[in-house]
Every structure is written in structure tokens, then in C-alpha cells.
Amino acid sequence: MSYNESIKEQEQSKKIQEMFNNIADKYDFLNGLLSFALDNNWRRNAIRLANIKPGNKVLDLACGTGDMITEIQKQHPDAVIYGADFSVNMLHISQKKLENIPFTAADAHNLPFKDNSFDRLTIAFGFRNVTDKARGLSELYRVIKQGGIVCILELTRPENKLTSFFYRLYFMHILPLIGGIFSSHKAYKYLPDSVYHFPKHKEYKKLIEDAGFKNIHFKTLVFGAVTIAVMEK
Ligand SMILES: C[S@@+](CC[C@H](N)C(=O)[O-])C[C@H]1O[C@@H](n2cnc3c(N)ncnc32)[C@H](O)[C@@H]1O
């Protein structure tokens, strides 16, 4: 990456961070509304695929207001869970909800954790915002233990033409409209953009492979509107 590209990317990442700080207080409400309250179901699915074992050290990265952690606790009360996010306003909310969880302010591009720290790492709806995905994936690879599993739950663009049409209608027109009614912030215009620019499965798999992961599996939900990527170090 050239010097200019890296500066542009840093600036974009800062803008995304600021955006999440701005919407933190409305995030839970809007998230449930805009996903038709299906988001917890998707999180539960992803956690099952992460195959968490008793006593595993689990990092939930881009934890936001802590919904993924709550679900992990329900399925695996014996897991040792950590939360991290680069939005301090999101972290304030999650720390209030989940007093016993250690939270860290952390950017996925440069994680403040030692090599081979975690048995499992989950990210729900956060990876799409990581501006340098190759760098983010190499950080995930670094902090996960050998044999450990990373599970990324993300909104993706359906690759089937018909589904893609309805999806576009919802994402490009209806979602920003509803989001705009409840939040004056431009975040709900950014959301469709970020999903549209997310790599398609073939390119996504290549990025994951290039970071060093093996045994990569994709599970798609809602006709490809949601993808759970599971990978092993
Ligand atoms: C859409 S929210 C998802 C929150 C939560 N995981 C959930 O399931 O509701 C995306 C989160 O990713 C965080 N995020 C985005 N880019 C990040 C980065 N580069 N490093 C760390 N956190 C990031 C944002 O601050 C935000 O809290």
C-alpha cells in the first residue's frame, strides 16, 4: 500500500470510529429494528459455529454494546470472555451492561494483545468496517492460538440476481429511510455502502487464506444477506 493510500485509509477508519461513537446510544434499538430482530438469531448461529470449549479464552472483537458477549455467556457460561472495540462510547455501554467482563479499547488493525492469546475470536458485524482487511486478518491470526478458531459474522451482498434486487431495494432505500427517522446521523447511509463494498465470497476466502488461516468455511443465512466465516489457525 502506498503512503497516500495508507493515509486515506487511516482517515476513513477515524471517521468510522467517530460515527460509531455518535450512534452508540441508539445502536441497540436501531439494530434490532433494522434486522427485524433477527440479529440475535444470527449471533447464536455464529457462536455455535465457533465451537467454544469449556474454559476457552474468547475475545469478542468489535463488541459494540456487548450483545455477542451476552449470547456467548448464555451458551458457554464457563468460557473466559474478553471484549474489545475502538469506540469508547460503545465500550462505556457494554461495560455498564456486563460489569464482570474485561473490556479493552482496541483497533482491529493493531491489537494490544500478545501473540497466541485466545482460543476463540468472534466478530459480529464489525469486520466490514475494518478498512485494511488484510491487516485486520493478520492481527486476528497473530492473537489466536495455534488450532484456535476465528468466527466472523457479517452482512454480505446476496450473489443471486433476484435476491440481490430485493436486497438492494431494502438496503439502498428503506433502511436509510428508517435509520434516518430515528437517527439524524449519516451512519445509516454508510451501512449499505459498507455492505456493497464488502468482498464477494471468492475474494473474501482468498484474503482469509492469505492471512494464513486454514479450514475456511462459509455459512450463508437469509439468501446470502448474512455470512458466517469460520477459520482455523
Ligand atoms: C455494527 S457494530 C457491531 C457491534 C456488535 N458486535 C454487535 O454484534 O452488535 C460494529 C462495531 O465495530 C466496531 N469497529 C469498527 N471498526 C473497528 C476497528 N477497526 N477496530 C475495533 N472495532 C471496530 C465499532 O466501533 C462498532 O462497535
pLDDT in tens, 26-45: 777 777 666 666 889 999 99
Residue whose Cα lies nearest atom 26 of ligand 1: it is 64
For a ligand 1 pocket test, name from 11, 47, 86, 97 the mutation site with the most ligand atoms within 8 angstroms of its C-beta: 86
With left for phi above 0 and alpha for psi between -120 and 50, is residue 188 left, alpha or beta? alpha
Residue whose Cα lies nearest atom 1 of ligand 1: it is 125
Find the helix or strand (DSSP H, E) in which 22 lies: helix 3-23
Mean pLDDT of 10-19: 86
For a ligand 1 pocket test, name from 12, 26, 129, 130 the mutation site with the most ligand atoms within 8 angstroms of its C-beta: 129
Mean pLDDT of the chain, nearest integer: 89
Instruction: Report how far residue 166's alpha carbon sits from residue 148's, in angstroms, rounded to the nearest whole number.
Output: 37
Residues with beta carbon inside 6 Å of ligand 1?
13, 16, 20, 31, 62-64, 67-68, 85-87, 90, 107-109, 124-126, 129-130
pLDDT in tens, 80-119: 999 999 999 999 999 999 999 999 999 999 999 999 999 9
Kindly give the distance from the C-alpha atom of residue 85 to the centroid of ligand 1, in angstroms, as a whole number: 6
Residue whose Cα lies nearest atom 27 of ligand 1: it is 64
Residue 23 in grid coordinates: 450512534
Q: Are 154 and 198 in contact (CB under 8 A)?
A: yes
Mean pLDDT check: name the lowest of 41-50, 69-78, 158-167, 203-212: 158-167
Comparing CA positions, the residue from 192, 186, 154, 158 lying closest to residue 173 is 192
Instruction: Report how far residue 15's alpha carbon sits from residue 209's, in angstroms, rounded to the nearest whole number.
Output: 29
Position 225 pLDDT exceeds 90: no
Percent of the chain with pLDDT over 70: 89
pLDDT score for 179: 66
Kindly give the distance from the C-alpha atom of residue 14 to the centroid of ligand 1, in angstroms, as a whole number: 13
Q: Which residue has the higher pLDDT, 167 or 72?
A: 72
- Among positive and negative, which fits the CA dihedral 133, 64, 144, 221? negative
For residue 118, give the amino acid letter: F
Q: What is the domain partition of the chain in residue ranges?
A: 3-232
Using CB atoms within 10 A of its CB, is residue 67 exposed (0-12), middle (13-18) or buried (19+)? Answer: buried
pLDDT score for 187: 62
Q: Are 101 and 85 in contact (CB under 8 A)?
A: no
Instruction: Report how far residue 228's alpha carbon sits from residue 225's, in angstroms, rounded to the nearest whole number.
Output: 10
pLDDT in tens, 157-199: 887 777 777 777 776 777 677 666 666 556 666 677 777 788 9
Atom of ligand 1 nearest to the CA of 60: 6
Look at the pTM and tell me if it is higher than 0.85. Answer: yes
The phi and psi torsions of 130 (rounded to 5 degrees) equal -80, 115
The fold adopted by the segment(s) 3-232 is Rossmann fold (3.40.50)
Residue 204 in grid coordinates: 473474501
Atom of ligand 1 nearest to the CA of 63: 6
